[in-house]
Amino acid sequence: MPLGSIFIGLPLVWTLPPWIGFPLGIAVFSAIPVAVGFAVLRYRLYAIDILINRTLVYGALTALLAAGYFGSIMVLQGIGNLVYQVPFRMLTGQRRGLVLSGAVQVALLIAALVDIRWRPEDEIRGNKRLWTAAAFVNFVGPVSYFLFGRRR
C-alpha cells in the first residue's frame, strides 16, 4: 500500500528542485521492477520462481567457472614469467604456436570426451564422470585418460 501512494505522488517529483527530485525520481522508478518482482514471487505468478532459481544457480555457476578459468590463465602466465623471465608470447616467438597448441588441446579434449561417452563403463578404469571432469584439465587430462583411463 505505501508503494502505491508513492506512485500517486510521482508527478510531485518533477516540481521539486533537481537536487531532490532526481534522486527521488530514481528511487521511485527503481521501485517499480522491485514491486513487480515481489508480487510475482509472493503470489507464485506463472511459476516463475523456478525459472529465477535456475537462472541464479546457472549464472553463479557460469561466473565461478569463468573466474576459475581466467584465474588459472593468470597464474600460469605468472609462473611462465617467473620461470623464463620473458613474456609467454616472446617464448613462443609467434602467435601461431599459441593457436596450434590451443587447437591440439581442443582436439584432445573432444577425442577424450567422445571416447568416454561411447566406451562402455567396464572398459574404463574408474568412474566415467570423474574422467569426464579430468578431461577438461589442459593437456594433462585427455592424455592421462588415453594412457591410464582405458582398459585395453
DSSP bridge pairs for 124: 150
List the chain domain ranges: 94-152
Of 5 and 118, the one with more pLDDT: 118
CB neighbours of residue 108 within 10 Å: 19
| The three three-digit cell numbers of residue 89, written as one number | 608470447
111 and 142 Cβ atoms separated by less than 8 Å: yes
pLDDT tens digits, residue range 31-76?
888 888 888 778 877 777 787 888 888 889 888 888 888 888 777 7
The answer, yes or no, to whether residue 3 has pLDDT greater than 70, is: no
Average pLDDT in the 83-95 region? 56
Amino acid at 101: S
Which of 56-65, 93-102, 117-126, 139-148 shows the lowest mean pLDDT across its residues? Answer: 93-102
pTM here? 0.40
Give the per-residue pLDDT at 1. Answer: 47
